[in-house]
C-alpha cells in the first residue's frame, strides 16, 4: 500500500484549517496528521509527527510565518515547507523562498492547486503559483527600498509590516510577544536604515513595494 503524504497545517484561523482538511481529504494520497495555531508549536509537532510537508500561513501571532520557516530550516534543512498566504506581492514570496520554503501559493488560488503543490514538493520540486512573480517593482530612482528591506531580519520585516498597517509600538509588542522597549529599538533601527523620520513615510514605502495598499 502506498504511503500517504503526511501534512502539518499551520494557520491561526480554525475555519481556514477546516477548509484545508476538507480539500485535502478529497486526495487519496494526502493525510493531515496535525494542526498548529502558532509558529511556536510547530517545532514540537514536527518532532512528534515527522510530517512530509508543512503548510503554513505567514501572518500569524507570535513569531510569525517567516521566523517559523527560518527556525525549521535551522533544525532540518531538508524540511518541505509550502507557504499558503493571502499575500501575493513579490517581496513576500522572495523572502519566504530565501528563508527556505519550497513552495508558495495564495489563498485565492484554484482548489486543485494545493494538492498539486504538495505532490510536486514531495517529489523534490519547487512550486510557485503561476503568475505570482511576473510583476517587478521599478525602484531605479531614489532609494532602492526593496533591496534594503530584503536585508531585514524576519523580526524587522514583521515590525515594518505591522507599522505600515498602522499598529502602535505597544500593539506590535503585544502581537509579537515582545517587550515595548525591544520594539521601539527595532523601529528606530528600521527608520535609520530606510533613512526616514516618520511612520507615514514608512507606510508610503510599503505601498510603493506592494506590501500594503491604500
What's residue 180's pLDDT?
Answer: 95
160-175 mean pLDDT? 91
Rg (CA), the chain: 18
| Spatial distance between the Cα atoms of 196 and 160, rounded to a whole number of angstroms | 13
Tell me if 138 is assigned to some domain: no
Residue recorded with cell 517529489: 123
What's residue 176's pLDDT?
Answer: 93
Q: What are phi and psi of 35, to 5 degrees?
A: -135, 150
Q: What are phi and psi of 202, to 5 degrees?
A: -60, -45
Binned at pLDDT 50, 70 and 90, residue 55 comes out as very high
Binned at pLDDT 50, 70 and 90, residue 136 comes out as very low
Number of domains comprising the chain: 2
Of residues 194 and 90, more confidence is placed in 194
What's residue 81's pLDDT?
Answer: 96
Tell me if 136 is assigned to some domain: no
Write down which residue in 128, 157, 178 finishes a domain: 128
Tell me if 134 is assigned to some domain: no
- Burial class for 69, CB neighbours closer than 10 Å (0-12, 13-18, 19+): buried
Write down which residue in 128, 153, 185 finishes a domain: 128
Distance of CA 131 to the CA centre of its chain: 18
Q: Which is it for the CA torsion 133, 135, 136, 137, positive or negative?
A: negative
| Spatial distance between the Cα atoms of 116 and 165, rounded to a whole number of angstroms | 33
Binned at pLDDT 50, 70 and 90, residue 214 comes out as very low
CATH number at residue 88: 3.40.50.2300
Across the chain, what does the average pLDDT equal? 87
50-56 mean pLDDT? 96
Domain that holds residue 50: 5-128
Residue 22: CB partners within 8 Å, gap ≥ 6?
none
Is the pTM higher than 0.85? The answer reads no
Amino acid at each position: 500500500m502506498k504511503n500517504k503524504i503526511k501534512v502539518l497545517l499551520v494557520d491561526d484561523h480554525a475555519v481556514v484549517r477546516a477548509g484545508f482538511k476538507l480539500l485535502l481529504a478529497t486526495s487519496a494520497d494526502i493525510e493531515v496528521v496535525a494542526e498548529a495555531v502558532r509558529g511556536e508549536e510547530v517545532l514540537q509537532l514536527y518532532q512528534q509527527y515527522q510530517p512530509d510537508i508543512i503548510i503554513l500561513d505567514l501572518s500569524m501571532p507570535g513569531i510569525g510565518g517567516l521566523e517559523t520557516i527560518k527556525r525549521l530550516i535551522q533544525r532540518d534543512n531538508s524540511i518541505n515547507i509550502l507557504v499558503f498566504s493571502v499575500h501575493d506581492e513579490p517581496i513576500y514570496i522572495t523572502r519566504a523562498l530565501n528563508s527556505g520554503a519550497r513552495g508558495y501559493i495564495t489563498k485565492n488560488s484554484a482548489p486543485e492547486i494545493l494538492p498539486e503543490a504538495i505532490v510536486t514538493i514531495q517529489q523534490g520540486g519547487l512550486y510557485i503559483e503561476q503568475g505570482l512573480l511576473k510583476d517587478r517593482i521599478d525602484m531605479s530612482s531614489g532609494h532602492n527600498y526593496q533591496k534594503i528591506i530584503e536585508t531585514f531580519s524576519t523580526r524587522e520585516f514583521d515590525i515594518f509590516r505591522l507599522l505600515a498597517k498602522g499598529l502602535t509600538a505597544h500593539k506590535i509588542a503585544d502581537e509579537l510577544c515582545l517587550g515595548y522597549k525591544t520594539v521601539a529599538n527595532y523601529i528606530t533601527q528600521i527608520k535609520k536604515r530606510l533613512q526616514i523620520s516618520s511612520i507615514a513615510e514608512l507606510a508610503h514605502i510599503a505601498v510603493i513595494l506592494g506590501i500594503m495598499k491604500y
